[in-house]
């Protein structure tokens, strides 16, 4: 991927509205001529992939991971201890086995077979009766035992669940993450493409992206893009808070703050202090009182806040 290319994240969709009606597991396995031991062993060609269900972004990192898994399967075979996950659906009276978990391993097996492997049967565990569409989407995060989803991919899951009229508290509870983080991920999934691309490519953390989106709004794109330019000019591949506009000022201000405090102290005892306008003098007095209270109480953040 060149510097001007972005991951194919626009091809992913937050929509997943396929209607699934439970079918007969035994009937599907009989139709597929599947072999049963501790698991169902199903011919690979009988396992269908649900269009647009998988939330993986097919960027360079993911494709490299896919290649690694394919090479492993060619060498070691497909581990039955890590079965695929599926859902048996009834479609016009036909029992169909859909893949709901293990998309990378399933695709990697196809690659391995195209390169000489001869893996015909894949182990699969099917969802129990009563499993809903929402359960399957939640399992993309909770049931993932392989490469963890990126924050952007988790954001896609969160967005899908909002499409099912779930609120942020429900999503947070089912996914096992903080409600505030869900809010942030939903903000991220709705962000301009430039920011989403930076996050998915690893040039920007989801945390910093969400922080800047909340603080800068529509100006976050320019703010973060400038920060990335600064990072690259400094030889870094990832923008952090120190690369953002204003970071140098904050650093210098932190160093200069003690000296400024001394200046304010001296200013208050200067004979000319009484000649300063009332409004400005009141603001200086308020600032001095806050700093003096913090100094007296050890300079803790809580004491500074309490004096405000």
How far is residue 227's CA from residue 244's CA, in Å, rounded to a whole number?
4
Both 80 and 155 in one domain: the answer is: yes
What separation, in Å, do the N-terminal and C-terminal C-alpha atoms of the chain show?
Answer: 51
Is 19 within the bounds of a domain? no
Q: Which residue is it, tokens 């967005």?
A: 159
| pLDDT at residue 248 greater than cutoff 60 | no
State the total domains in the chain: 3
Confidence of residue 19 (pLDDT cuts 50, 70, 90): confident
pLDDT score of 128 more than 70? yes
**Pick from 2, 37, 3, 5: which is nearest to 193 by CA?**
5
Whether residue 186 is contained in a domain is answered as no
pLDDT of residue 42: 95
CATH number at residue 39: 3.90.1530.10
- The residues, ordered by sequence, that sit 6+ positions from 10 with a Cβ below 8 Å of its Cβ are 193
Q: How confident is the model at residue 20 (pLDDT cuts 50, 70, 90)?
A: confident
Of the candidates 226, 243, 260, which is a domain's last residue? 243
Please check whether residues 35 and 137 belong to one and the same domain. yes
Same domain, 30 and 171: yes
| pLDDT-based confidence at residue 201 (cuts at 50, 70, 90) | confident
Shared domain for 47 and 151, answered yes or no, is: yes
The reply to whether 74 and 161 lie within a common domain is yes
Whether 151 is in a domain gets the answer yes
Q: Answer yes or no: do 255 and 230 share one domain.
A: no
Same-domain pairing of 236 and 257? no
Q: Is the pLDDT of residue 303 over 70?
A: no
Using CA atoms, how far apart are residues 83 and 75, in angstroms rounded to an integer?
A: 18
251-278 pLDDT tens trace: 656 676 677 777 777 877 787 877 888 8
Domain residue limits at 214: 191-243
For the chain, give the mean pLDDT.
Answer: 85
Residue 246 has pLDDT above 90, yes or no: no
Whether the per-residue pLDDT at 249 is higher than 70: the answer is no
Least confident of 2-16, 40-54, 159-173: 2-16
In a domain, 18, yes or no: no
pLDDT number for residue 298: 59
Q: Mark whether 55 and 168 lie in a shared domain.
A: yes
Confidence of residue 305 (pLDDT cuts 50, 70, 90): very low
pLDDT band for 98, please (50, 70, 90 cuts). Answer: very high
User: Could you tell me if residue 210 is inside a domain?
Assistant: yes
Regarding whether 169 and 31 lie in a shared domain, the answer is: yes
Is the confidence at residue 284, as pLDDT, over 60?
yes
- 68 and 142 belong to one structural domain: yes
Residues 126 and 66 in one domain: yes
Domain assignment present for 183: no
In a domain, 2, yes or no: no
Any residues with CB less than 8 A from the CB of 123 and at least 6 apart, and which?
39, 40, 41, 78, 80, 83, 84
Note whether residue 299 is domain-resident: yes
Label residues 241-259 b or e (16+ Cβ within 10 Å = b): eebbeeeeeeeeeeeeeee
In this prediction the pTM is 0.69
The reply to whether 237 and 257 lie within a common domain is: no
Crossing angle for the helix pair 220-233 and 193-201, nearest 10 degrees? 40
Instruction: Name the least confident of 69-83, 123-137, 142-156.
Output: 142-156
């Amino acid at each position: 991927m060149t510097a001007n290319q972005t991951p194919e994240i626009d091809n992913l969709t937050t929509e997943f509205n396929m209607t699934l009606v439970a079918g007969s597991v035994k009937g599907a396995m009989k139709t597929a001529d599947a072999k049963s031991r501790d698991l169902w062993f199903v011919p690979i060609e009988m396992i269908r992939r649900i269009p647009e269900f998988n939330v993986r972004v097919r960027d360079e990192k993911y494709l490299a991971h896919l290649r690694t898994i394919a090479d492993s399967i060619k060498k070691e075979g497909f581990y039955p201890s890590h079965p695929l996950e599926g859902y048996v659906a009834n479609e016009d009276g036909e029992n169909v086995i859909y893949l709901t978990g293990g998309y990378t391993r399933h695709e990697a097996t196809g690659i391995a077979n195209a390169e000489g492997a001869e893996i015909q049967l894949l182990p699969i565990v099917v969802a129990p009766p009563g499993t809903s569409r929402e359960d399957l989407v939640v399992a993309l995060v909770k049931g993932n035992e392989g490469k963890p989803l990126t924050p952007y991919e988790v954001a896609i899951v969160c967005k899908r669940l909002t499409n099912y009229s779930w609120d942020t508290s429900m999503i947070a509870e089912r996914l096992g993450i903080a409600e505030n983080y869900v809010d942030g991920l939903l903000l991220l999934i709705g962000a301009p493409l430039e920011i989403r691309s930076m996050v998915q490519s690893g040039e920007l953390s989801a945390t910093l992206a969400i922080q800047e989106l909340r603080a800068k709004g529509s100006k976050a794109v320019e703010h973060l893009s400038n920060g990335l330019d600064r990072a690259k000019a400094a030889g870094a591949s990832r923008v952090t808070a120190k690369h953002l506009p204003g970071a140098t000022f904050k650093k210098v201000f932190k160093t200069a703050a003690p000296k400024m405090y001394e200046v304010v102290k001296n200013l208050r005892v200067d004979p000319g202090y009484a000649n300063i306008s009332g409004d400005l003098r009141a603001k200086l007095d308020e600032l001095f009182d806050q700093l003096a209270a913090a100094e007296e109480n050890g300079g803790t953040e809580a004491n500074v806040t309490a004096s405000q």
